[in-house]
Chain A
């Protein structure tokens, strides 16, 4: 029964810390719909369709076969927005999936980066592809050009680790 109590303690602590974290979270960009709940709001497409927009601001209901055929809807409309990704991150946090939520928040930043550049950055992060400076430059570009701050620090961290583990391109 000792274990049972231990588990209860852990659960309590986690719940407590979750409240503290959300209270202490910095007020960044205003959340489109604060406090999304997995039970009430998920799936968004079915339960909160009014919150989901295409990158050009069209509602989800505007994506119809008719509009595709007369080219009112193009490939750029069937893309996810950073706002939607952040809403899904909230849903993920609501079911305790911290790391997954963090991935969705990194993804929200990456929506701003074009497809080809995404592929190039991925290749640059592979082992022995980049010097430390090249990785730091990518981080700088992510931050200044695309406002991708979480990703920038992720790439900076990679540069440090690759240096310590000798996985950088030989200069």
Chain B
């Protein structure tokens, strides 16, 4: 066929490098409304759920049973289940119905019923609902800090910059597993340079992640995955009971934690049982609720390529975020993994959470160049900092970040690198040279860093664990080397695990280490003039970008 020139131009557009697929319900390649999704039902006998969405108790898989026994309030269920789908959907959108009222109803719904409600809503309605239903009144943001070489000096510098730019939580992971203790240490030191009170985590295999938390090197955990079918749950090497126990184990050490799940993981792992992605994800959300975890990272997360390939997939991602808030859980709403070549598409996907605001809009935003992201690249990264800031300014929306000056960034990056240098010296780890400090201060990414002796680093990282280095050792090392402010900040973070205030739903810390959570900062949105409003001070921060010209710039 002779090619039509316009079609040739379109074929070359970035969006046409993306993958798309038609709906294929039999294998679960359907975002919402699979013909195999169960019909909502509930039967309660003697205070116990004996039938859930058409499945009698004897035939329930372990997820059904866990949801039936832990996630559904049997006192509310029959009345809530009798309500019309549209009536519940309208309550979600209606600014006159307070959040608390919806939480009461949602607590009595089964997974299939929740899906039936969400199926009636368009994305604008879901965004309205999300604005009201998110747990914490003040929205926030989280970032990723990693690099391909696990360069510890660079991690500290990037963490410092990201904290200064406004992220309240920061997550690292590893290129090489054995580097984990070092990556976590860099985050701990660097993060507190950028802003005291930033919470940090290191995503690893479950048991190792817990261990770092117990030692006081990390402040919270997130990579505790749950899945929507029993086979995939078992493939993930867990059950709702093992994960529920793990949740309590974290709390018993005073550590904040959330679970992780997302649409598409079951299809990707080959056991979707013909159910829609959203239905399976709602089961994950309810397992999280039942386990008594305060929050959930969801929004497809690392499986975003799957829902993004099918019709209404990005709508399903918004729906799963909304469902999380309906369960009264903190939502860290993904917007992380790269899924498209199109700048237009990646922006549209994020506006669903950025405009209404969530507890963490991204989880996370790449605080590093895309090539350094060991979570396989983020939908947003350092190259987009100014775009993000200007979108906030254009729409007067709080996306959690703020413009910063080059001088200030250079200063915190340098201080973070020097602080880590001191800690390494004090703890007897392989030296960080002044050349490395200088490189990390001015670097964009790991390509700008001199190489380190990886073998020596790994040996020392191993030693850090076997010697039992704790957060308090870091405090001492900082204080002994003239970084008393940082020592106090790290200690401030460790103190959180004594009071346990930050275990609560959607907790973050301000720069004075005050806890801001969905207990003392509850979302009270009830329409215009209520809920979170950008304060005059915050608006000054957002609107004053250095790119804007002022009348005084003109020589008239």
Confirm or deny: A147 has a beta carbon within 8 angstroms of a beta carbon on chain B.
no
Complex: chain B residue closest to A8, CB-CB? B101
CB within 8 Å of A: which of B203-259? 206-207, 210-211, 214, 216, 230, 234, 237-239, 241-242, 244-254
When the two chains form their complex, are residues B476 and A107 in contact, meaning their CB atoms are under 8 A apart?
Answer: no
B485-498 toward A: CB 8 Å interface, digit per residue (1/0)?
00110010011011
Q: Which residues of B contact A127 (CB under 8 A)?
A: 234, 237-239, 242
The answer to whether A10 touches B501 (Cβ under 8 A) is no
Contact present for B241 and A158 (CB under 8 Å): yes
Residues 118-142 of A at the B interface (beta carbon under 8 Å) = 118-119, 121-123, 125-128
* Beta-carbon contact of A45 and B248 below 8 Å: no
Q: Are B505 and A52 in contact (CB under 8 A)?
A: no
Query: In this assembly, does B397 line the interface, its C-beta being within 8 Å of a C-beta of chain A?
Result: no
Separation of A13 and B74 alpha carbons in the complex (Å): 12
Roughly how many angstroms separate A151 CA and B292 CA in the complex, as a whole number?
13
Task: Report chain B residues within 8 Å CB of A118.
Answer: 210, 249, 252
Which one, A7, A60, A102, contacts B498 given CB within 8 A?
A: A60
Residues of chain B within 8 A (CB-CB) of A98 are: 73
Q: Is the interface of A mostly helix, strand, loop or mixed?
A: helix
A99 with B291: CB separation less than 8 A: yes
- Interface pair B497/A63, CB less than 8 Å apart: no
Question: Is the C-beta of B347 less than 8 angstroms from some C-beta in chain A?
Answer: no
The answer to whether the Cβ of B552 comes within 8 Å of any Cβ in the partner chain is no
- Chain A residues whose C-beta falls within 8 Å of the C-beta of B242 in the assembled complex: 122, 125-127, 158
Q: Which residues of chain A are near B144, meaning CB under 8 Å?
A: none
Select one of A7, A88, A96 contacting B501, CB under 8 A. Answer: A88
Q: Is B351 an interface residue (CB 8 A)?
A: no
Q: Are A74 and B501 in contact (CB under 8 A)?
A: no
Known A103-B291, A122-B246; judge A95-B500 contact (CB<8 A).
no
Does any Cβ of B come within 8 Å of A33's Cβ?
A: no
Does the CB pair B76–A14 fall under 8 Å? Answer: yes
B472 touches A75 (CB 8 A): yes
Given A60-B499, A80-B500, A92-B504, are A10 and B245 neighbors across the interface (CB < 8 Å)? no
Question: A80 contacts B501, CB within 8 Å?
Answer: no
Judge whether A31 is part of the interface by a CB distance below 8 angstroms.
no
The reply to whether A63 and B495 contact each other, CB–CB distance below 8 Å, is: yes
Given contacts A68-B491, A91-B504, A161-B65, contact A125 B498 (CB under 8 A): no
Q: Which of the four size classes fits the interface of chain B?
A: 35 or more
CB distance from A26 to the nearest CB of B (A): 18
Q: Which of the residues A65, A80, A154, A167 comes within 8 Å of B487, measured between beta carbons? A: A65
| B378 interface residue (CB < 8 Å to A) | no
User: Of the candidates A80, A87, A126, which one forms a contact with B497 in the assembled complex, judged by CB atoms under 8 Å apart?
Assistant: A80
Interface string of B81-113 (1 = CB under 8 A from A): 011100100010000010011011100100000
- CB <8 Å contact, A84 and B498: yes
Q: How far is the CA of A112 from the CA of B189 in the complex (A)?
A: 30
Contact of A103 with B247 in the complex, beta carbons under 8 Å: yes
Q: Is B168 engaged at the interface, CB distance under 8 Å to the other chain?
A: no
B495, A60: Cβ atoms under 8 Å?
A: yes
Count A-B pairs with CB separation below 8 Å: 224
Within 4-46 of A, Cβ neighbours of B (below 8 Å) are at 6-7, 9-11, 13-14, 17, 38, 42-46
Question: Are B245's CB and A100's CB within 8 A?
Answer: no
Given contact pairs A80-B252, A85-B251, A97-B328, A10 touches B239 in the complex (Cβ within 8 A): no
Min CB distance A31 to B, Å, is 15
- Cα-based distance from A167 to B106 in the complex (angstroms): 31
Q: Which residues of chain A are near B65, meaning CB under 8 Å?
A: 161
Q: Which residues of A contact B108 (CB under 8 A)?
A: 10
Q: In the complex, A104→B519 CA distance in Å?
A: 15
User: Would A162 and B500 count as touching, CB distance under 8 A?
Assistant: no
C-alpha gap A154/B207 in the complex (Å): 20
| A108 CB to nearest chain B CB (Å) | 7
Is B79 interfacial (CB 8 A cutoff)? yes
Q: Which of B79, B494, B498, B505 has the largest number of chain A CB atoms within 10 A?
A: B498
Given A78-B472, A99-B290, residue A126 in contact with residue B237 (CB < 8 A): yes
Extra contacts, 5 of them, besides A14-B76, A68-B476, A118-B210 (Cβ < 8 A), are A74-B472, A91-B504, A97-B505, A103-B251, A161-B65
Complex A-B: 20 CB contacts under 8 Å:
A14-B73, A14-B76, A43-B517, A45-B499, A63-B491, A63-B495, A65-B484, A68-B476, A69-B480, A75-B471, A78-B494, A88-B501, A99-B290, A99-B292, A100-B292, A103-B291, A103-B293, A110-B248, A127-B234, A158-B239
Seen from chain A, the residues whose Cβ lies within 8 Å of a Cβ on chain B are: 3, 6-7, 9-11, 13-14, 17, 38, 42-46, 52, 54, 60, 63-65, 68-69, 73-75, 77-80, 84-85, 87-88, 91-92, 95-104, 106-111, 113, 115, 118-119, 121-123, 125-128, 151, 154-155, 157-158, 161-162, 165, 167
